[in-house]
Structure 1
Amino acid sequence: MKDLILDVYIDTICPWCRMGTTSMLVALKQMPKEKKVTVRWHAFQINPGISPGEDYRKVMIGKLGGAAQFTARMKQYDEYGANYGLKFNMDLVKYTPNTTLSHQLIAITPEDKQEQLIEKIYTAYFEEGTDIGNVDELVKIARATGITNDAELKMRLTKGDGIEKVESGQLSAQKLGIRGVPYFLINEKINISGLQSPNEFIRLFENN
């Protein structure tokens, strides 16, 4: 049986990425146990130049074109998220952070803990309103994932460990022509952009 290699491009403040990766992981759980699966996570930043702690509502109203559109989008997150068993407490989200530090944290985390870490980052941001641009908050999230060397981890993030992988993800995204996330690359040949159902993922996984 052919191995499965998945390159997944996400941003940690992207609701669609949270839903998309959840859908993908549901599909992967239904793959035969003898099928070897490798997931490689890549950084993509929706707002690469944003300053830490910009007002979420203001940023989104600017992007969407008005308060009515903002309200509709927040409702959409709730409705779509429910399909994947996900909560989006967007009223608690006060900031649109720069996601560089969170991507660094993912990059330097052992591969066997990355999936769990990403899920906890999403939960912290979308359900609890945690500022994931804050290094101390990220260290707390890492600790909940079983990474307990707080002082060392904070030092590594502050001095830029993992930044080369973040930049590499951005560069490869540019080469692939990726303009939005989530984005999935199956066995380095099948490109999927946007939110897909678990059944669609299963179909693609089985055929590739």
Structure 2
Amino acid sequence: MKDLIIDVYMDTMCPWCRMGTTSLLTALKQLPEDTKATVRWHAFQINPNIRPEGEDYRQLMIGRLGGAAQFAARMKQYDENGANYGLKYNMDIVKYTPNTTLSHQLIAITPADQQVQLIEKIYTAYFEDGIDIGNIDELVKIASANGSSNDAELKLRLTKGDGIEKVELGQRNAEKLGVRGVPYFVINEEISLSGLKSPDEFIQVFKKATQTS
């Protein structure tokens, strides 16, 4: 069987990306032991032009969705869909829609074997704890909890722009692929999947990808 290379385009403030990540990881646990899977994470910023300090979450979402009723319906949608993946969304305590550049930089400069855990910690911080993941000090705390040993050095690296080239490359590659929304998955550079998929859907695609000659 062929090994799997899975490219994931995601944003750290995207509720559906969090569900998609959990679904993907669940599917990967069901792979045959002789199948090796490599996941590569790519930045896709839904709101690339948001100011560094972020925007008021509720106000921005109500404006985009067309009213308070639509906003409430969307929050319920997050709760119900998230529950299917064992995820909790405390959107009532989320104050900011963040600029996610720094969080993507952090992922980019984190060793590959620590990225999944970091991404999950960033998601939990934002969606469950209402932490502003656009704030560099909060991100350093999250990284520290993930095993980063030198907070001052990490903050300096982020401030200097370390990892930004990977963030920008992810955005450019997404544009080449025609990505309009995330999560977006590319399996073995052959099969593209757009939007939230169940573990069973991933497994079926994995079987197809590993059987392709």
Task: Pick the TM interval, shorter chain.
Answer: over 0.9
- In the alignment, the residues of structure 2 paired with residue 103 and residue 34 of structure 1 have an alpha-carbon distance, to the nearest angstrom, of 32
The letter of the residue matching 1:46 is: I
- In the alignment, the residues of structure 1 paired with residue 64 and residue 33 of structure 2 have an alpha-carbon distance, to the nearest angstrom, of 43
Give per-residue Cα distances to partners, 1:114-146, cap 9 Å, x unaligned: 000000000000000000000000000001111
Matches within 5 A, 1:5-154: 5-51=5-51, 52-154=53-155
Q: How far does residue 148 in structure 1 lie from its aligned partner after superposition?
A: 1.7
Matches within 5 A, 1:184-199: 184-199=185-200
SS of equivalent to 2:16 = helix
Q: How far does residue 63 in structure 1 lie from its aligned partner after superposition?
A: 1.1
Please, which runs of 5 or more residues in structure 1 have no aligned partner?
none
The letter of the residue matching 1:186 is: I
- In the alignment, the residues of structure 1 paired with residue 173 and residue 66 of structure 2 have an alpha-carbon distance, to the nearest angstrom, of 30
Q: How far does residue 32 in structure 1 lie from its aligned partner after superposition?
A: 1.1
Q: How far does residue 88 in structure 1 lie from its aligned partner after superposition?
A: 0.1
SS of equivalent to 1:8 = strand
Q: How far does residue 53 in structure 1 lie from its aligned partner after superposition?
A: 2.4
SS of equivalent to 1:128 = coil
- In the alignment, the residues of structure 1 paired with residue 142 and residue 170 of structure 2 have an alpha-carbon distance, to the nearest angstrom, of 22
Number of the residue aligned with 1:207: 208
- In the alignment, the residues of structure 2 paired with residue 206 and residue 117 of structure 1 have an alpha-carbon distance, to the nearest angstrom, of 28
Structure 1 residue runs of 4 or more that deviate by more than 2 Å after TM superposition: none
- In the alignment, the residues of structure 1 paired with residue 149 and residue 87 of structure 2 have an alpha-carbon distance, to the nearest angstrom, of 27
SS of equivalent to 2:128 = helix
Percent of pairs identical after alignment? 77
- In the alignment, the residues of structure 1 paired with residue 112 and residue 156 of structure 2 have an alpha-carbon distance, to the nearest angstrom, of 20
- In the alignment, the residues of structure 2 paired with residue 59 and residue 109 of structure 1 have an alpha-carbon distance, to the nearest angstrom, of 31
Tell me the TM-score normalised to structure 1 length: 0.99
Number of the residue aligned with 2:180: 179
Number of the residue aligned with 1:3: 3
- In the alignment, the residues of structure 1 paired with residue 115 and residue 17 of structure 2 have an alpha-carbon distance, to the nearest angstrom, of 15
Tell me the TM-score normalised to structure 2 length: 0.97
- In the alignment, the residues of structure 1 paired with residue 8 and residue 88 of structure 2 have an alpha-carbon distance, to the nearest angstrom, of 22
Number of the residue aligned with 2:163: 162
The letter of the residue matching 1:65 is: G
- In the alignment, the residues of structure 1 paired with residue 145 and residue 34 of structure 2 have an alpha-carbon distance, to the nearest angstrom, of 30
SS of equivalent to 1:68 = helix
